[in-house]
Structures are given as C-alpha cells and as structure tokens.
Structure 1
Amino acid sequence: MIKNIPNKMSDRDLLMFIERVVRRRIDFFYLRMDFQNGCNVGYAFVNFMTVKDLLVFAKARLGVKWNMYSSEKVLQMSYANYQGKEALVEKFKNSGIMDEREAWRPKIFYSDGPQQGLPEPFPAPTHQRRKERSAHNRGALFVPGVAR
C-alpha cells in the first residue's frame, strides 16, 4: 500500500507519479475514494510486478514529501492484507465499488507479454449476491471525517 497520499490527488495523477519511477511495472491499482466529497482517503493498493520494482519505487519515493497540492505529507508504504494481483482482483471483482465511477474503481494492467503495463479489462463478478451485499453495505463502511 502507498499511504499518506494528498487527498486532492486523482487516480490518474497517482498513476503518473508511479510511472515516473517504474514505467509499466504495476499490475493492480486502487486509490480508495471518499464517495461523499470525491477526494481520496489517503491510501492506495498498488501491486508491483516484481520485488525489484517495489524496491526501486520505495528507494526513490519512500519518506519523501509529495510536494504537490500544498501538502506537507510524506509518502509511506506498508504491506496490505491482500498480496498479489490475483488476490486483489478476487477481493474487488465482487465488490460494489465496481459499479462506481470508472475513475474510482480498481484497475488492472497486463503483467507480461507485449501489452505489459497496459490496461487490462477487469474480470466480471462471479458472486452476484456478494456484490449486492457489498453495494448494500457501502454506507456502513468507514468514511473519513465522519464521527462514529
């Protein structure tokens, strides 16, 4: 996970930020959004294709100020509970998030071959009831800035 992302940053901006260091070397990307205010919540799931790609990015960006959007935030990284493109796709393909705006959905990219690093179609849901449950529970999810 990439953490401490400036809240005004879009998925496109973050993808370009990553690409400046490791071009076409990620195969999963999801910048979590706050649906009510349209800003990101400060973290993204990013799967680098190899450990080397991860280390190159971390060496270049970890602990460095973003220097954009008037943010004083410093980029942080951590391991997520789900690791690898396959596990992340499985987690999100049956999620109600896939019915949200295109820019707010998880994205996948080809992991190898001539199209490596280019957008790949996201697999269709395999458990419609799970997806419906996810969409129904969306309002129950943690929303930053809302006291519970």
Structure 2
Amino acid sequence: MVMVVEEDPCESPKEDRGRRRQRPKVDERDHFSTRYMQPEMKTTVMLRNIPNKYTQRMLLDVIRAKGFDSEFNFFYLPIDFRNRCNMGYAFVNFVDHDVAMKFMNAFEGYKLEGFNSLKVCQTGFSRIQGLDANINHYRNSPVNYVSIPEYRPLWFVGGKEMPFPGPSQNTRKAPQHGHRPRP
C-alpha cells in the first residue's frame, strides 16, 4: 500500500521554517524610513504569524470585532501569488499612536481562530509609518494593480473603504496568478 501525502501550498517548507530572510539595508535617505521618528509618532503596525489561509476579509472582520472598526485607515495583507495564500503578516495604520498601542496589546499573543494553526500573533511597528507614507509606497507598487481586488492594499476614511489613489509614476505590473514578469 502506497500512501501519498500532499503538501499544503500555504505552508512554508520545513527547511525554511525558523530561518529569517535578510532585509536589505535601509538607505538613510529613504523617505519612508522611521530611523529618526519619535516612538510616540508611530501609527503603522505589522501583525505577524497570521495563519496563511486567512483572507483579507477574514482578518478585517477580526480587527473590527475587537473594537477597531473606524480606528484604522490603511490595511494590507500581502499575498503569495503562486500559492494564493497570505504571507503570514499584515500592515495596519491607525488614526493615532494610542490606538496603535491598544491594537498591539490586543493582538500580541492572540491566536486567530478558524484554522488548525498553532501560530500566535506578534506585533511591532512597521518600517513604513503613517497613512501618507503607506499610500505613497503602495500606490506605485505593482501589487496595487493585480486583477484580484482582495490582494490589493486598502484605504479607509471613517471606516469606509475608499478607492486607492492612482500611481504618481509609471509602475511595472505585478505577476498575475503565480506568473512572474520576465526581465
């Protein structure tokens, strides 16, 4: 008898678990850098260890259910286009620093329900900070133009979703459905 076990495309390969990717060094001239920002000015939080099968709407529903409905104005859950699963982290910008801190306290150590996952949320401030910086960064990102709306960043005003601003410069299109553009 032969048993075939299929790998879940949303799970990281075992040999990759626990290994961190090195981030490129941030240029001091990078206008998105928070290197010199005062801690009390930070409003954008990175939420990590999200179960990979969570969708944008599922995570937004949890955030709203925990009392942050009109308290954030930017949300982005990056997606692995090849596997069509989230990458395990999200970015949320809040209306002020105090709300960001409340969110961090509410979600640090929180276990998102709905899937058989052992992941426990971790929070921290994002490298890119503030609504304007996030919009400026993502409006020129190829990810803002993917064909599936649920894979794009979102902008909110008073809890209502708004059309995301168009590009301020020419952008290269993002891969569609797992296909990468050729150089």
Query: TM-score band (shorter)?
Result: 0.7 to 0.9
Unaligned runs of 5+ in 2: 1-45
Letter of the 2:151 counterpart:
W
Pick the aligned partner of 1:28 from 61, 74, 81.
Answer: 74
Distance 2:161 2:131 in 1: 13
In the alignment, which residue of structure 2 is the partner of 1:47? 93
Structure 1's consecutive aligned runs of 4 or more residues displaced over 6 angstroms after TM superposition are none
What is the CA deviation profile of residues 53-102 of structure 1, one whole-angstrom value per residue up to 9, with x for unaligned ones? Answer: 22222222211222331111101111211001100000010111122110
Q: Secondary structure at the residue paired with 2:77?
A: strand
Whether 1:107 aligns to 2:154 is yes
Whether 1:74 aligns to 2:116 is no
Unaligned runs of 5+ in 1: 111-115, 141-148
The 5 A counterparts of 1:1-148 are 1-21=46-66, 22-100=68-146, 101-110=148-157, 116-128=158-170, 131-132=171-172, 135=174, 139=180
**What is the aligned length?**
131
Identity of aligned residues (%): 37
Q: Look at both structures and tell me which one has the larger radius of gyration over its CA atoms.
A: 2
Question: What is the TM-score with the length of structure 1 in the denominator?
Answer: 0.82
Distance 1:135 1:121 in 2: 19
| CA RMSD, 1 decimal | 1.7
Q: Which structure's residues are more often helix, by fraction?
A: 1
Q: Secondary structure at the residue paired with 1:7?
A: coil
Distance 2:154 2:63 in 1: 14
Quick check: 2:56–2:150 contact (8 Å CA) kept in 1? yes
What is the CA deviation profile of residues 104-143 of structure 1, one whole-angstrom value per residue up to 9, with x for unaligned ones? Answer: 0000001xxxxx1211111111101xx12x648x948xxx
